[in-house]
Amino acid sequence: MSGIAADQARRAAELREQITYHDRRYYVLDDPEISDAEYDELLAELQQLESRHPELIVPDSPTQRVGGALASGFPEVRHQLPMLSLNNGFAEEDLRAFDRRVRERLEVQGEIDYMAEPKLDGLAISLLYRNGQLLRAATRGDGETGEEVTGNVRTVRSVPLSLSGSDWPQEFEVRGEVFMRRPDFLRLNERLLESGERGFMNPRNAAAGSLRQLDPAVTARRPLSFFAYGLGWTAEHVLPHTQSAVLDWFAGMGIPVCPERARVQGADGAFAYHQAMAERRARLPYDIDGVVFKVNSREAQQRMGFVARAPRWALAQKFPAEERTTLLLSVDFQVGRTGALTPVARLDPVLVGGVMVSNATLHNMAEIERKGIRIGDRVIVRRAGDVIPEVVGRAGGERMPETQTIELPSVCPECGSHVEQEEGKAVARCTGGLVCPAQRREALRHFVSRKALDIEGFGDRLIEQLVTSGAVNNPSELFRLNAERLEGFERIGPKSARNLEDALDRARETTLARFIHALGIREVGEVTARSLAEHFGGLEPLMHASEATLEAIRDVGPVVAKHIAHFFDEPHNREVIEALLAAGVHWPRPEANAAEKRPLAGRTYVLTGALSAMTREEAGARLQALGAKVAGSVSKQTSAVIAGENPGSKLSRAEALGVPILDEGGLRALLASE
Ligand code: 5U1
């Protein structure tokens, strides 16, 4: 290297270090040392140096926060460890009951040491670091699989591209929340409105919308922030023993953590923290919707385990939802995908928690009766997080004389079919089935939705036209459309028509789990669809499964099993499935492929007896998540029997067949396999 080149390399390194330092002062510590203009000068000098000498560019240079645009969509990422959700508490008693459960499980008489921090209203993400460099960022998605948004997350200034120090595992995941500070949100909306674009409804939507931009250059102009709250998967390393120490350790690496975090003792300490935060909430520079409490000891967390997808050692204690009163102008009935009629309140518009609300759900007729609501009443409207606003009840005070009762229509407002209210059931349904355009429309909306077949471009307006014109009566008929036919519809030009045809072509290749979800079987959401796909591995065995077989599957109870069996008994549904397959909808066997790559792939375990750290169902689910099969009976093919307290006859059968037997320690070792 010549003398000049060496000087320039040294200067580039110096600039990188300085900019990274000032990024941290500004974005993480909120305590800048230099002015924006001085900062811009440093960045401009580095950009100039790098453009003259591209060989000086390193991946973690501050100039490389904006990567190239992604070609289309976001690739899926399977999280190394599922991203859990949190159990919620609302009343003081929920918090005290949580604390009681923790003490009972851990057999502790005294106060529990909890880590407390605000629950940010943002978007959960997982950052994967390898050798101290940010390798990948993914959204939470459904907890198992998220979207890869590395290019976008690299533009978030407070996310370090490389970590400080050297005390970190060779590879590990940092979990946290991407969010937008309120002042940044207000400035962004002003900027968008000035340039004639639509503003965002609230900081959460702005954060989510910005992170899901296909072009990282757009995300880079959005002022996003990040706080880490936990550790995901980690390679071998000595880890801190407590949650609070994990967060301090993150801070030492330059990863931002919430400055409001605190350790609190017992239920009283936790409740006091919750009250203090509720009081401070409006003055914080970001939106929070509650407080999260976690058992501080990581060893105790491990002993407690989790139920379904939420840890037993954590609680999100929510703040009360925002409520306002307004006038109930009228009530309409909306018909859903399964024919359920939902009464929707049309309200005198009112601002609730920063959002203008003019429609809210009244749930069902039984709720209306229970709350004694009439048209013309002043009602209380509540909005909490992202859920649909609801009418909570009648506001106090005298009732106006000219109010009217709310009547359930005897015929469907969309198709005129008879409306049926099953004895003892709250929900009234239109009996029109697929004759009803609303049910057809909702079934199609669900079929094309992002978590189902994800067919881009089929918005509500187009679906409405497809249904009312009779062009599409069921999901399989979507695949009969081509650009030529689509071009005839309102606002569909030649280019959009071609894009729609391409989207249909792409959607033909899907996964079994998405396909099952897209069918719209009652009570079968995304998670259950995935369990069914993993269990059956193919559509045929699922279509022929008995209710008893279905009930034995994770996430499937007797009611869901009945809905699934009824769905596949219905000849019309089988015809639609056949037509979809004939139209070329297909899937590889990713569930099997994914399982093959997992650490316990190809192994079969049988669980017997009571486990102390978790239920058998939970142990089974965790073994399955690592690729193992969990069987109900022991055979020579069984890899091992895991025996807890008071094991049944399965243990003696294992002994007779010479099948290995593991105790709970053995199970823990298996669950630690990565
Ligand atoms: N502050 C905070 N938010 N939050 C969200 N902590 C936290 N922990 C979470 C989630 C989903 O999950 C834990 C189970 C790691």
Q: Give me the pLDDT at residue 36, please.
A: 64
- Domains of the chain and any CATH numbers: 3-64 (1.10.287.610), 76-318 (3.30.470.30), 323-420 (2.40.50.140), 433-507 (1.10.150.20), 512-582 (1.10.150.20), 597-671 (3.40.50.10190)
User: Is residue 159 within 8 Å of 127, Cβ to Cβ?
Assistant: yes
Cα(203)–Cα(185) distance, integer angstroms:
6
Beta strand spans in 467-566 (E)? none
Question: What is the enclosing helix (H) or strand (E) of 230?
Answer: strand 225-234
Distances (CA, A) of 625 to 25, 554, 629: 41, 12, 9
pLDDT in tens, 126-172: 999 999 999 999 998 878 888 899 989 999 999 999 999 999 999 99
DSSP line for 395-428: -SSPPPTT-B-----SB-TTT-PBEEE-TT-S-E
Q: For the ranges 403-412, 459-468, 551-560, which has the lowest average pLDDT?
A: 551-560
475 lines ligand 1 (CB under 6 A): no
Per-residue pLDDT at 199 exceeds 80: no
User: Is residue 30 within 8 Å of 223, Cβ to Cβ?
Assistant: no
Cα(145)–Cα(80) distance, integer angstroms:
9
Q: Which atom of ligand 1 is nearest to the CA of 311?
A: 14
| pLDDT class of 219 with cuts at 50, 70, 90 | confident
Tokens representing 609?
């007896």
Mean pLDDT of 74-83: 84
Greatest mean pLDDT among 81-90, 409-418, 533-542: 409-418
Q: For the ranges 81-85, 212-216, 451-455, which has the lowest average pLDDT?
A: 212-216
86 lines ligand 1 (CB under 6 A): yes
Q: Which one-letter amino acid corresponds to residue 194?
A: E
Within 8 A by CB and 6+ apart from 192, the residues are 198, 199, 200
Cα(16)–Cα(62) distance, integer angstroms:
6
Mean pLDDT of 613-641: 80
pLDDT in tens, 331-388: 999 999 889 999 999 999 887 766 788 999 998 998 899 889 999 999 999 876 556 7
What spacing in Å lies between the alpha carbon of 598 and ligand 1's midpoint? 25
Q: Give me the pLDDT at residue 346, please.
A: 97
Catalytic hit among 119, 318, 629, 650: 119
Q: At how many degrees (to 10) do helices 3-23 and 36-52 cross?
A: 140
pLDDT in tens, 284-313: 999 898 999 999 999 999 999 877 678 999
232 lines ligand 1 (CB under 6 A): no
Classify residue 69 by its DSSP letter. Answer: P
Classify residue 388 by its DSSP letter. Answer: P
Cα(300)–Cα(514) distance, integer angstroms:
37
What spacing in Å lies between the alpha carbon of 229 and ligand 1's midpoint? 6
Cα(340)–Cα(446) distance, integer angstroms:
15
Which residue's alpha carbon is at the smallest distance from atom 11 of ligand 1?
85
Cα(335)–Cα(408) distance, integer angstroms:
12
Q: Give me the pLDDT at residue 173, please.
A: 95
Per-residue pLDDT at 593 exceeds 50: no
pLDDT in tens, 200-212: 777 888 898 888 8
Say which residue, 71 or 616, is predicted with more confidence: 616
Per-residue pLDDT at 423 exceeds 90: no
- The per-residue pLDDT of the chain, averaged, comes to 87
Per-residue pLDDT at 69 exceeds 60: no
Q: Are strands 306-307 and 310-311 parallel, antiparallel or unpaired?
A: antiparallel
Q: Give me the pLDDT at residue 30, please.
A: 55
- Residue 179 bridge partners (DSSP): 225
Per-residue pLDDT at 595 exceeds 60: no
Closest to 12 (Cα-Cα) out of 73, 53, 41: 53
115 lines ligand 1 (CB under 6 A): no
Tell me the torsion sign for CA atoms 453, 458, 463, 469: negative
Tokens representing 648?
């049944």
124 lines ligand 1 (CB under 6 A): yes
Per-residue pLDDT at 592 exceeds 50: no
228 lines ligand 1 (CB under 6 A): no
Mean pLDDT of 88-102: 93
Residue 151, CA atoms < 13 Å, CB-side half-sphere: 19
**Residue 119 falls in the annotated catalytic set:** yes
pLDDT in tens, 489-501: 988 889 999 999 9
Cα(231)–Cα(253) distance, integer angstroms:
13
Q: Which atom of ligand 1 is nearest to the CA of 229?
A: 6
